[in-house]
Amino acid sequence: QFFVFCHGLLQLSQLLVSSYLKSSISTIEKRYGLSSKTSGLLASFNEVGNTLLIVFISYFGSRVHRPRFIGCGAILVSLAGFLMSLPHFITGPYEYDQSVASVFSNTTDLCQPKGTGSSGNLSDSICAPHAARENHEVLLVMFIAQVLLGIGGVPIQPFGISYIDDFASERNSPLYLGILFSLTVVGPGVGFMLGSGMLRFYVDIDKVSGDEVQLTNRDPRWVGAWWLGFLVAASLVAVAAVPYFFFPKEMPKEVGGDFPVVLLRNLRHPVFLLVVLAQVNLSAMVAGLATFMGKFLERQFSLTASFANMIIGSVNIPGAMVGIVVGGAILKRFQMSLRQCSAMCILGMLICLILALPLVFLGCPTQKVAGVTYSESSEIGHHVSECSLQCNCPKEAYNPICGSDGIEYISPCYAGCRVVSIANNSVLNYTNCACISENGLVGSAKPGTCGTGCSHLLLPFVVLSCLAGILASTSHTPSFMLILRSIQPEDKSFAVGIQFMLLRVLAWMPGPVLYGSAIDTTCILWEKKCDRKAACRYYDNNLFRQR
């Protein structure tokens, strides 16, 4: 029972590391200028180290000192967690465009007509080679950390499960494994909640004092302390690893069997193959959603990263948990046959599809952004480009403001604003804006984005997606049963190994990358760093939602 407790703790903290990355992915994109394709690849890269080893590890499982192997894996995972936060410490402070001369820069992004001699405008700052190199280093460190995370995670689940199954009594074994499986679902929930907490702090909380920070966490330029959570999660893993070095090897039960023969025997089994393929399709979707659902909620409903994570961690993931438990309970209550199991899977998926259909329509278009979603040819667009021409605007400035005419401008300069009013180090509003006309007068603007005006659709969206998730996950346990009961008993642990490998190669690895690429195709304004595309500033929200 102590082993089960330790193993639960370890699995929880291991999942904390990998799911925390998913919760802070939109923040890391913003901080280091990554496209969603890159961040999707990063999020799924831990599966690479994992896949290479998982089948062999589960095959040799009975011949080694399992607890010690688990302990070593956990140490690797902890190391990977600390490595993930390293980029924060090797790069300089986060720089963003601002209207106020400050500690960071004496430049400004207000409208400064040509000839006033102040060419001190922002963002066209020279493209130093070190900046590009810095970015490569960051990516290299994170990708290495992800590979280590994958390798370290290999022994943890298969060895833990087989160790418990070998030495627990036949009666208690399902209970213990049930506890562990439910923890694998709780883990990501806790990860997203951790993300929600950490992203409320400013990223450079350790480098600048609080009163120097001019952003609130509602600002689109806000970057939260993404690295803090990795330190927390990695420390937890390190603590959880310690007891494993003191568990006994215990009596290994001999297992016969030949590697290739067993592999072929399982792969030729039609039920096994079909169920695994069904699981692959579902898992690919879940992997993509888990990575980018937060980002989707942020863009579609104008939420902060912190709030989006809170919704996922407190509604969607517990919903999936409820589904898994309910599915298992129905199985147990009605003692279902294999045919009934598959019927239950089909039914759950069908209703899930019906509930998910409206989600395609729940949302609204991107807010009007001058010169971006608001076409240049239209009268207003033309007026905007004309009126900000004399302002000397830096091309890359990004400090969105919301005009009194309800249109968003990518910086005060683009709106032709010349005056900014400040109170205790934060911007109140911009006035004297040539491009914003309000009843024929020169308009004003507030800092921050206008938002999509979609907040009333958030509740129905969350409710429907949660229900769809509950229904989809009722098929989790019956599909497992289909696999476990359709193959020979002695092949069980090996079949589960093959199943996980197929899921990794066909679902968890490509899933986030495919989703990221699809999301990238809906971008309408890219941030440019040194003439290369960095992060996306604005998406076409309708396309983002549909794709």
| Residue 236 belongs to domain with CATH number | 1.20.1250.20
* 389 and 312 belong to one structural domain: no
* 170 and 269 belong to one structural domain: no
* pLDDT (0 to 100) of residue 162: 76
* 394 and 292 belong to one structural domain: no
* pLDDT (0 to 100) of residue 385: 62
Number of domains composing the chain: 3
The answer to whether the CB of 32 falls within 8 A of the CB of 84 is no
Domain with 417 in it: 379-447
User: Cα(39)–Cα(536) distance, rounded to whole angstroms?
Assistant: 12
* pLDDT (0 to 100) of residue 345: 93
* pLDDT (0 to 100) of residue 241: 94
Give me the half-sphere count of Cα atoms (radius 13 Å) on the Cβ side of residue 514.
15
* 476 and 515 belong to one structural domain: yes
Average pLDDT of span 260-285: 81
Is 434 contained in some domain? Answer: yes
Q: Which of 152-156, 231-235, 404-408 has the highest mean pLDDT?
A: 231-235
β 426-438/419-423 pair status: antiparallel
The answer to whether the CB of 10 falls within 8 A of the CB of 241 is yes
* 434 and 478 belong to one structural domain: no
* 438 and 350 belong to one structural domain: no
Tens-digit pLDDT profile for residues 278-313: 999 999 998 898 899 999 999 999 899 999 999 999
Higher pLDDT, 231 or 46: 231
Is 118 contained in some domain? Answer: no
Is 372 contained in some domain? Answer: no
Per residue, the 3-state secondary structure of 42-97, as one string, reads: HHHCHHHHHHHHHHHHHHHHHHCCHHHHHHHHHHHHHHHHHHHHHHHHHCCCCCCC
The answer to whether the CB of 329 falls within 8 A of the CB of 344 is no
Is 337 contained in some domain? Answer: yes
423: alpha, beta or left? (left if phi > 0; alpha if psi -120 to 50): beta
378 has pLDDT over 70: no
CB atoms within 10 A of CB 458: 18
Nearest to 400 by CA among 371, 434, 442, 364: 371
Q: How confident is the model at residue 149 (pLDDT cuts 50, 70, 90)?
A: very high
Domain boundary among the residues 225, 256, 287 is at 256
192 has pLDDT over 80: yes
473 has pLDDT over 70: yes
Is 386 contained in some domain? Answer: yes
* 269 and 235 belong to one structural domain: no
Buried b / exposed e along 211-223 (16+ C-beta atoms within 10 A): eebbbeeebbbbb
* 410 and 478 belong to one structural domain: no
Scanning 168-269, the segments in alpha helix (DSSP H) are: 173-198, 226-241, 259-267
The answer to whether the CB of 39 falls within 8 A of the CB of 146 is no
* 160 and 250 belong to one structural domain: yes
User: Cα(529)–Cα(138) distance, rounded to whole angstroms?
Assistant: 15
Domain boundary among the residues 256, 287, 321 is at 256
Domain boundary among the residues 234, 256, 278 is at 256
The whole model's pTM is what? Answer: 0.80
Is 471 contained in some domain? Answer: yes
* 436 and 488 belong to one structural domain: no
Tens-digit pLDDT profile for residues 395-421: 777 888 888 888 888 888 888 888 888
Is 207 contained in some domain? Answer: yes
Phi, psi of 128 (to 5 degrees): -70, 135
* 163 and 53 belong to one structural domain: yes
* 360 and 498 belong to one structural domain: yes
What six digits make up the tokens of 422?
A: 């400040």
Is 427 contained in some domain? Answer: yes
